[in-house]
Amino acid sequence: MDLTSTVIIPLLFGSLGIFALFRLLQWMRMRAYLQEAVVVITGATSGLGKECAKAFHAAGSKLVLCGRDSEKLKDLVQELSTVTNHRKNTHKPHTVIFDLSDTKTVLNAAEEILKYLGHVDILINNAGISFRGTIVDTGLDVDKKVMETNYFGPVALTKALLPSMIKRRQGHIVAISSVQGKISIPFRSAYAASKHATQAFFDCLRAEVEQYDIDVTVISPGYIQTNLSLNAVTADGSRYGVTDKNTAEGQTAAEVAQVVLNAVGQKRKEVLVAGLTPSLAVYLRNLFPRLFFTLMAARAKKERKAKDS
């Protein structure tokens, strides 16, 4: 009797069936988790935040869209209101206007959110600002500005909403970090520092709130096709105004938003969303640090030469 036909093929099909069933159950669980969930998204008016708003809205979540520009928030609400999903009930989003770099307005925003909706199921800390410049030429006020937006703002909002999550013993906190929260590349010092701080804070938070059944997910994207580099601040605080080549060739914001949606639905603790080269760089930094430092020094020299030419 042929072993392949009597044992291996039935075993293979059985394994595929079990895997398919597992994925189906996983999808059903994710759908139930996201539907009707109150989801707060910062930096919702453009880029990844806007695409996350579309993805979670389509999943049936109740959105709280946060940003500084009231008109853009209004336009986004109108855009989402025209989208219907016959398989899920969709809800009109609520908007909260505040500046993430202003701690006082962050606290007021948290109060408004809880007053309006009573609780938050999922907080997505997405808003951020990038940086381009040399360390020696960068004023400390620029470093502080980047840290206020990328680190202290999300920390303040998280801390303001955390007690209500602990009280309910339910909640999910998401930090949109970056590959540069794991490695540092030249002329991105303020941005990389803010993302390293973000990574460390939310890693600590994950361990501390596990006892309350609160989930923490850190998403670390590589290059995304957004206006992040265009709106980056420079050493003197002015706008960079250039879309980098790597940014232009990066993943689309819609693709990364889908990764965020799936990571939240599956309650992943950490997700690296990057191409082969950035992913290898993360491992290289940890396994062969001397080689990594040499490569970064060479990159700095190359970029400086290109700028001076």
Active-site amino acid positions: 191
Backbone φ and ψ of 129, nearest 5°:
-135, 145
What is the rounded distance in angstroms from the CA atom of residue 57 to the CA atom of residue 50? 11
Angle CA 153–156–162, to nearest 5: 135
What is the rounded distance in angstroms from the CA atom of residue 77 to the CA atom of residue 63? 10
What is the rounded distance in angstroms from the CA atom of residue 173 to the CA atom of residue 165? 10
What is the rounded distance in angstroms from the CA atom of residue 136 to the CA atom of residue 123? 36
- In terms of Cα–Cα distance, which of 266, 180, 257, 163 is closest to 217? 266
- In terms of Cα–Cα distance, which of 63, 176, 159, 152 is closest to 111? 159
Q: What is the DSSP letter of 225?
A: S
What is the rounded distance in angstroms from the CA atom of residue 103 to the CA atom of residue 147? 12
CA-based R_g, the chain, Å? 21
